[in-house]
Structures are given as C-alpha cells and as structure tokens.
Amino acid sequence: MAPALVANGSVKADAANPGSSPAIPSRAIPPIAHPTPEDAFGVAANIQYHAQYSPHFSPFKFEVEQAFFSTAESVRDTLIQRWNATYEHFQKSDPKHIHYISMEYLQGRALTNALGNLGLTDAYAAALYKLGYDLENVVEQEKDPALGNGGLGRLASCFLDSLATLNLPAWGYGLRYKYGLFKQLITKKGQEEYAEDWLEKFSPWEIVRHDIVYPIRFFGKVKVDPNGRRKWVGGEQLQALAYDIPIPGFKTKNTISLRIWEAKSPPRDFNLAAFNAGKHQEAVDLHFKAEQICAVLYPGDETEDGKLLRLKQQYLLCSASLQLQDILTRFKDRRSQDSFSWAELPNKVAVQMNDTHPTLAIPELMRLLIDEEGLGWEEAWAITSSTVAYTNHTVLPEALEKWSQVVMSKLLPRHVEIITEIDKQFHALVREIRPDLEEKLNGLAILDNSKPDKPLVRMANLCVISSHSVNGVAELHSDILKKELFADFYSLWPKKFQNKTNGVTPRRWLRFASPELSAIITKWLRTDEWVTNLDLLTGLRQFADDNQLQSEWTAAKIANKLRLAKYLEQVTGIKVDPQSLFDVQVKRIHEYKRQLLNILSVIYRFKKIKELNPEERGNFVPRTVMFGGKAFATYAQAKRIVKLVTDVGEVVNNDHDVSHLLKVVFIPNYNVSVAEVAIPASELSQHISTAGLEASGTSNMKFALNGSLIIGTLDGANVEIREEVGEENFFLFGARADEVPMLRKEREEGKFVPDPRFEEVKAFIRSGAFGDYDYGPLVDSLEGNSGFGRGDYFLVGYDFPSYLEAQSKVDEAYKDKARWTKMSILSTAGSGKFSSDRTISQYAEDIWKIQACQVP
C-alpha cells in the first residue's frame, strides 16, 4: 500500500512502525536541496527534495524503493562535492597517479559503505525514521552492481577503498556490463543461469560523462605513408562512453573515481534508409555490435566470434582508459608546452594491470606514442616499460591467457605488429645477454608458433617482458612464480619480481558487515583506530581468556548467526539451527577449489550418523554446512558439483534421523551482499584448494577477520594466515605444494592406494542414494588409476583421509565452547596483516612510487 502525501509532498510517516508504508508525520518535512547535510532534519529534507525534483517514479507515492533511490541520490550529493574537491586538488597539486585497470570490480552495495565512510550512518538512519522507514529496509532495495564475479574483482574493489582512505591519487578503470556474469538460480536441475538485472531501472551511483566519449577502432588495416610511418585505418569505429562512480575514503574528504566504459555506436551509424526499406537488421548492425561488447562479463569463447568479442572487451577497456583524451591527456594538460616531454610520463603516471586481461594496454600505449605522438621505438619502449606493471593472479595454465594470432591480427592488426616487434627484440636481448637461455626461447617467447596451424600470443609472457614490476599476491604464490612458472624470466630480471600479499578492507568486511563485533573490538581496545590500523587488533590477544570478552564475543556471533539463519530460510526455505556449527565454503565453483572434497566428507558424515543408533548419534556435533558460488555456465564438471551438493542437501535435510545433526544448504546467487551476511556468521571456513593452485584467496582473510576458524591446506594466503593467527588456531590438512607433482606422478603410475572410506563414499554416490542423476563423469574423475578424466588431478583422494582427521579435530574443539571462542578471538587478533591498506601502501611505495595527496 502506498503512503499518503501531504500538500508539500512530504510523506505521512508512522514513527512507531518504521519500515512499513509511512502514515501521518508529526510535522511535515519540506523538500530542500541541501547537498551536504549532516543533521537528521537536513538529510530528510534533502531526501524529500530528490523524491520530488529528481523523480524516477510517480509523484503520488513514496514506497521503500523510492525511498532508496532518493536516499542514494542524497548521499551522492555529498560524494560529488567531495569528488570534485578531490580532483580539483589533484589538478593543482599534480601528483603522480596510479591508474588501476581491471576487467572486474565486485563492488557490492554502495549505500551502507558510503554512509559509513562519510560518518553519516546515524544521521541518515534518523532521517529515514522521520520519513517512516528504517535504514536496514531501505538498504535492502539496492541491487549489487554486476561488474564482477570473483576474488579478482573483489580485490580490485577493496583496493579502491584503500586508495581513497589512504588519500592516494588514483583512478580505477573497468567496463559497464549490462548483464554481468549471470544471476544464479538453484532448481532441481542444479544451477540455472539468468541475466543480472542490476540496470533494470538505473544505478543511482554512476554519473554518465557525455563529454567523455572516445573513438574505438576494430579491424581495418595498417597504412604506411611515404616516410615509413605506420597508421591504423579503416575498419569499424565505435565509441566508449564514460560513467564515473565515486569511491569515498574513510574519515577523509578524498573521494576517487571508478570509471567504467560503455560501448556505443553514434547516431550517424543508424542506417535510416535501410530501416525504411525494411532492412531493419542491417540498419542497426553497428548498434547491435556495440551493445554486445559490454553485455556480459566473460562471454563464452568457444567460437571465433566469442574470441573476437572477448578481445573487443579487453581492447575497449585498455584503449578507452589510455586514450590521449584520458590518462595521457590529463598528463599533457598539466604540463606547459615549453617544458613538455613524454619522457616524464613514468614520473607522473603508473598503470597497474590486474591479471592478463588488460595486457593490450602495452601495445596500445606503444601505438599511441609511436603512431599518434611521433616517438621513436626506443623512446616509446622506455616510457611504456617504465609505466606499466603486472599482477599475476594464477598459476593455472588454462587461466594464463593465450589468444589466436589469426584472430588478433584480424581485429587489431597494428597491435600484432607491435607485439611481434617486442617479441623480436626480446629474442635479440636473450641471445645477447643470456645465450644459455637460447634453447628455451620457444617457451619464453610472446609468440607461440609451436603449432603452425594454431599460432598463439602468450599474454602473460608479454606482461612479464614489458612491465617494470611483476608481483604475486601471497608469499607462496610469488615463490612459485619465481621458481616455477616464470623461473627463466626471474633469472633474467630478479629485481623485477615482487610479492604483495593481498588484503581486504576492514571497513566493509568488519566495521560495517558486523557492527556488533566491531563495537566489542572498539570497547576492549578502547579505540576505533583499528578501522584504519588493523595491526591494533593484536591488542585483543591479552583478553582472549577473559570470560566477559568471551561472553560478549559469543553473543555477537549468535546475533550474526540468527541473521544468516533468517536469510537462509527466506531464500531457500531451509530452517537451520543457530546453535549448530556454521561451516561455510563460499567461492567460485571450480575443481581446484575442491567443493567436491567438502561434499564427499559431508556424505561420509551423513552415512556414519545414519548407521549409528540414536544414543550413539549424540556424539556428533550438530553442523550446518553451507556452500555458495557460481560455476561458469560452460564448466560441466563444476555444475555437476553444484548438482551433487543440492541433491545431498535434499536427502540429508529431509532425513528425520539425521537432519537435527546435519544440514546442507546451497546459498544461491552468492555475491557481496550475501557475503556480508554469511561471513560474520561463519564459525568454520573452508579453504581447501589443492596446494599450489590458489594464488592467494581473500575470502579466507575476511573469514579470519570475523573470527571464523579456517580448515585448509598450505595454499595461497592460508600459509601466512596460519602464521599470524597461530598454528593451534588453524585446522591444517593435505599435501604440500612441493609434494603435489610427485603425488600426481604416483597416481599416473598406479601406485596410489585409496583410503577405504574414500571408496565407500564413491560407491554410495554410484548407488543412487542421492537420486537418479548421472554422477558417473564426476566420480570417474576421481578414479586416478583407471584412466578416467585427468586421474584425480586435484588429489581429492589423496587428501581425503587427512581432511576427515582435521574435521574430527574441529568437532572436538567445538565441544569446548571456551576454547573455541578463544580461538575465534585469536583469529581476529591475528588478522592485522591482511588489510588492503597495508597491501596498497606497499604497492604505492615499492611499485607505483606515489604519495598521499590529501584534500585540505
């Protein structure tokens, strides 16, 4: 039911029942434009102003959805004021900037984060109360932006928060995906994919910049003029339109920008004559091609058209961001013509490529400097290689991008010429300074011509050769890069390689996601400075045995568990016991992340409980096991894992003998907003990837920060987390990274003897205990000695016994509530290292060479 309005447009609010449709207010609140309100009345008046004068809905109602959009636009007023002041200050100060280019930004909802960073949460909560709503209900109306999917995108978003909080001069660059990856629904068929609807109406946070529209060329040919200068001409020419999203820092005026690009076709490309002649498809051909580019994140690339589309995305991102009208133009605008020199570019501009997706920034910057600005090759190369830096996020061969030379030559002919020259000069360099590596050149080269019918471009090699810095994202991962993946490159350029262990923002992932726990931390540390200095959390260690702290800590955890239990019932219909152990594994569904290992142990647990008599079952710790994450739409094996989890849940949750001791829940459409509910409630978090395959992980950091204990392998950042929180507070199992190659070889040779419990679980699945779905291909992949699949490549069978042993230790620890709570406190106390503020400070000092530039 819509609320009534009074003559001046204010809402009739029911202060006794905020969150319902507003009723009669005690006094009318006039609509007043007030871009930077700080008191509740000023905020309410500004919200009313946007409800009337920034209308997106009928003026005769003010329901909760309208309340959200008006509230967001009111907050945006303050952000814009700070945003403009920030870049005006940067313009005057002319500091060196970092330009962070990423294919993904997994932002999450912006309202709570913005209010928290601005220090306006209480004022807006009070204002909305006056208008008949509570802030929590209004926040729930916001949809997560579909600009990212996994850890890569979430890391980029944490980094932006830290860049703003640390007052560093920065821009983030990405793409404006209309439909994201996909919205995940869980049905009896398993995972089903639908288009995301975050732009179904509009996003109140983005501001379109109609004056920032750059031409983007595809296809065409390279023209050589009489002087030998080369120029890329012809082909298709689309446009990149800029949308800016403000990113506020915490307790600072600095507000930086995430600029996302949308591909569009200019109106002149609409063929009116063809349309009137009935050739409708032909008339809108370029418009359709433009819309395709930013339609979805990671479009399928099994076909040549799919490969072209992915390359178009990557080139659009790099070209629009580096255009002479954007990064390079800002550099030129701040130089006088008398003293201008492109050689100064690396002193004022740093470009960080977040994984290999933005690799085309390298040949694009070379092209702009050589073809458009007239520089020679040597000068352009010196500038480019001193400007760009590369972060590697994976050692998985299939994730190290390799593109067809044929496809790339068709789409980007000039760039392939430049890449070929870089490769040629690299060959010459190796022959000159390291002739001992000459026999390895075929593997080190950018151009892979080992298969003449399928020549490839190795994007990771191009990044390593061209960047002045290459970093991994955890100590173990960086060591693997130096000793294995890029070992020969490391021998060439040892000073080029660095480690920058990832981090997460403590604002979103503790301060705002778990206000109850945050209040307790502040109380016991007697300061809230930990929000920007996470190392202060170590102060909790001295109180870890204190009964009062343990009691308060437990109460906060229970509040978070109740919140998650309510959410699970709403979205899945499954009721869970908040007194049970909340065991959570939420991350992208992939064989190497081993959700399969987790569900196999759940099946074993279910089977053992079922086999016992009722008296003996009492020895089991009640447990709710939760899974969440998306399987890529074409990744059949990952989708089978999702199906198995849901089928197991259907059987377990409806078994009256077991369901009070074990529940299995798949949380659908896992995203940042779901994580903000699940992570604070988690008590055990699973980070169980095959050792050596997870570059870092950041969800493990978020869980540890929130006092969740980790069961995991020595993989990625788990190694460092275990060191920081204490070995006794980490449930370790599994093979080490240096053992994995030998173990795989033993499996291939038929020397592996599987544990009887592992065989028992596989047989139980094959028996049809979980329905008639064909799990043959999934179980077959675990038959390491039988020639199926890749022979249990991810060593699920090898690690299964030690995993069960670790789970038994979890049960024993959980039975002792005081011990478990102490371990939880020590987990949070040891999380100081894993702040993205620390990570960004190290990037700024060691790689980017930039300094803070705070708005006065």
* Residues labelled catalytic: 393, 587-588, 593, 698, 702
Structure tokens at 27: 């006094």
CB-based burial label for 151 (10 Å; 0-12, 13-18, 19+): buried
Which residues, at least 6 apart from 264, have a Cβ–Cβ distance to it below 8 Å?
Answer: 213, 238, 239, 240, 241, 287, 290, 291
- Give alpha helix (H) positions in 142-296: 151-165, 272-276, 280-283, 285-293
Mapped onto helix, strand or coil, the DSSP state of residue 274 is helix
Task: Identify any residues that bridge with 245 across adjacent strands, giving them in sequence order.
Answer: 258
Bridge partners of 162, per DSSP, are none
Please compute, for residue 601, the number of CA atoms within 13 A of its CA located in the half-sphere on the CB side.
21
828 close to 704: Cβ distance less than 8 angstroms: yes
Residue 63, Cβ neighbours under 10 Å: how many? 17
Query: CA–CA separation, 50 vs 34, rounded Å?
Result: 10
Cα–Cα distance, 689 to 585 (Å, whole number): 11
Counts of helices then strands in the chain (DSSP H, E):
35, 22
Beta-strand relationship, 183-187 and 349-354 = unpaired
Phi, psi of 212, rounded to the nearest 5 degrees: -115, 85
Write down how long the chain is.
Answer: 856
| Torsion angles phi and psi, residue 458, rounded to 5 | -90, 105
Residues in contact with 327: Cβ distance below 8 Å, sequence separation at least 6, in sequence order: 99, 171, 321, 349, 351
Residue 804 identity (one-letter amino acid): L
Cα–Cα distance for residue pair 303/708, rounded to 1 Å: 43
Phi, psi of 44 (to 5 degrees): -60, -40
Give the CA distances from residue 210 to residues 88, 242, 785, 808, in Å, rounded to whole numbers and listed in that order. 20, 7, 61, 60
Q: CB–CB of 247/164 below 8 Å? A: yes
* Paired tokens of 654: 């409806």
Rounded distance between C-alpha atoms, residue 599 and residue 480, angstroms:
29
* Token duo for residue 470: 């290459």
Q: What is the H or E stretch that residue 124 is in?
A: helix 121-130
Q: 97-101 and 402-404 as β-strands: parallel, antiparallel, unpaired?
A: unpaired
> CA 166 to CA 177: how far, in whole Å?
28
Residues 355 and 393 sit within 8 Å (Cβ to Cβ): yes
How many whole angstroms separate alpha carbon 796 and alpha carbon 688? 10
Query: In whole angstroms, what is the distance from residue 368 CA to residue 374 CA?
Result: 9
- Please give, one letter per residue, the 3-state secondary structure of 285-296: HHHHHHHHHCCC
